[in-house]
Structures are given as structure tokens and as C-alpha cells.
Structure 1
């Protein structure tokens, strides 16, 4: 799975959990983001590869505007559904 597809999958899972760009569930606590990322199937053969992949996708989520850092967590930007 390429990085863009992984980012879209993470965003979809967050949306399925009830988070969106606006409203009561617009701020995603860091612990929930970490939990969603840890539960994702990364198809990694080693533990180091597994955590490396998570870090790459986390940085991609922020650098390419899928998530923005806000007070007390993160917010979806809608980039995944454009």
C-alpha cells in the first residue's frame, strides 16, 4: 500500500469513527490517532519496518494537509475526500 492510499485509509477510519472537519467531533485526540494508526495493517515484516511505516504515514498526513495540528489534537482537513 502506497503512502497516499494509507493516508486515505487512516482518514476514512477516523471518519467512520465519527470525526469530521467540523462539529463536536472535529478534534481528534492524539491517543485516538495513534490507536487508529497502530491498528492499521501495514504489511511489515519486521517491527522496525512497522514503526518506520507508521512514522512515514504520520508525517505524510501532516505534510500533505490530510490533518492539521490543533490545540489538543488534530483535525481532518477534507483533503482525503477532494
Structure 2
């Protein structure tokens, strides 16, 4: 099974939102809402689409609106990856 980590998620969020790689997300961010981290629904939509394409995983359409924190999105990704294993 492919491991998808918080580090991987942050890298993809940055790429899909067009951020500089130098921007640091310090501290514990697993339970910080995406909007407080500076990511809107468009950034999440682009990130989810990229994850689906790159990892060949199918995520529910609602994941963009229902996953409000990195922890929630990582759980959805883990479930999707487990389903394809």
C-alpha cells in the first residue's frame, strides 16, 4: 500500500495553490481548518484532483467540502488507498 503522509499533502497543497516552497507550516496543523491555513475550496479541489490522478485513487465528491482539516483529508485518502490495494 502506498503511504500518503502529511508532508506529501502539504507539498501537493502548495503546488496546487501555486505557493512558494519556502512557505513554512509550523507546529501541529493536523486539526487546523484549511481556511485558517490559507487554503480555499479551489486549492482543495485541485489538490484532490491531483491526488486522484497521481495515486489512482477515487475519493468521494464531497471530500472537498466535508474534509475541513488535514487530518480529515488524510483519513479519506487512506481509505481510498486501502480500497485500491
Q: What TM-score, normalized to structure 1?
A: 0.31
Q: What TM-score, normalized to structure 2?
A: 0.30
**Higher strand proportion:** 1
